[in-house]
Amino acid sequence: MSKTSGRTSGAARLRTGLRLAAVIAGGLALASCSFLDWGFMGGGSKAPSPSVDPAPTRSVFSLPRVGFPGLGRGGRGGMMSASERQCRAALRRRGVQFTDLAPIRDSAACGIDHPVRISTLASGVAIKPAATLNCQTALAAAEWLQKDVGPAARKRYLTGIAEVNNMSSYSCRRIRGSSRWSEHSKGNALDIGSFTLKNGHVITVSRQSILAMRARGFLHAARVGACDEFTTVLGPGSDADHADHFHFDLRQRRSGYRHCD
Ligand SMILES: [Zn+2]
């Protein structure tokens, strides 16, 4: 009797223990969701500031990425798509430091659903000032820097790139002399004005003298390489508006045409 009573009592304690464990586990799961919500969902319904980049809502290194399907920040663009999440994973693999920004909606023509602000294009290569772009354009810029610009500098100057000068990234504007909105108005374009090498030498994007063979070769390699990553490439010689910078964008044309000038 006492043995049976002892087993019964043990089983009862076990059931009580399991119920307690379930309650604790449920509580932890709720706490965990709340924690993740702050990190990934917080900026979803906030109205964007009309002309100033919204404050970063999350540092790339501040929270772990958890592979929950559909988890992402909301906003006018809705939940972050799989391609947006994959793009951020690719940025991390390339050593790009970035923060996710709240959705930018300046007008019907201007804005980015899931903007990023990038401060580097590779480990140890700054982009200054930091650029606000859509993720695909940020990734294209990082790939261009790492596949084309870095090797071109090492080949011709025997050193790497320390800094890239961002002349314009997201900007709500029309193309000069046109009624069409610039790709900048969608965070789909980036303007580069100069490169600073690790030895401090600065190469400006401009028409170089015939004697400046190294700079000419470097800028040519950077420009030609950009055609692999972007769908529009403009620079000195294209027109008067691009005499002092490269313009790169990811404009989608129905024909699939890439404009590399
Ligand atoms: Zn531009």
The string of DSSP letters for 220-253 reads HHHHHHHHHH-SEEE-TTT-GGGTTSEEEE----
**Dist. CA 106 → ligand 1 center (Å):** 18
**Dist. CA 46 → ligand 1 center (Å):** 28
Instruction: Specify the higher pLDDT residue, 68 or 93.
Output: 93
Structural domain boundaries, residue 209:
41-260
Domains held by the chain: number:
1
**Dist. CA 84 → ligand 1 center (Å):** 23
Which token pair is 135? 């993720």
**Dist. CA 192 → ligand 1 center (Å):** 8
14 located within any domain: no
Q: What is the pTM of this model?
A: 0.71
11-23 pLDDT, tens per residue? 445 444 445 444 4
Distance CA 60, CA 55 (A): 14
120 located within any domain: yes
202-222 pLDDT, tens per residue? 999 999 998 899 999 999 999
**Dist. CA 11 → ligand 1 center (Å):** 72
3 located within any domain: no
Distance CA 207, CA 172 (A): 28
pLDDT score at 139: 98
228 located within any domain: yes
25 located within any domain: no
pLDDT score at 4: 39
pLDDT score at 46: 32
Reference 187, options 129, 117, 257; nearest CA is: 117
**Dist. CA 42 → ligand 1 center (Å):** 31
Query: Given the structure tokens 């965070």, which residue do they identify?
Result: 187
115 located within any domain: yes
Reference 170, options 227, 222, 106, 233; nearest CA is: 106
157-207 pLDDT, tens per residue? 999 999 999 999 999 999 998 999 999 999 999 999 999 999 999 999 999
15 located within any domain: no
What share of the chain has pLDDT > 70, as a percent? 70
**Dist. CA 16 → ligand 1 center (Å):** 66
**Dist. CA 189 → ligand 1 center (Å):** 6
**Dist. CA 78 → ligand 1 center (Å):** 28
117-150 pLDDT, tens per residue? 999 999 999 999 999 999 999 999 999 999 999 9
Residues near ligand 1 ion, CB 5 Å cutoff:
189, 191, 247
148 located within any domain: yes
**Dist. CA 146 → ligand 1 center (Å):** 21
pLDDT score at 107: 94
* Peptide bond preceding 129 in cis form (omega within 30 of 0): yes
236-249 pLDDT, tens per residue? 999 999 999 999 99
* Burial of 54: CB neighbours in 10 Å, binned 0-12, 13-18, 19+: middle
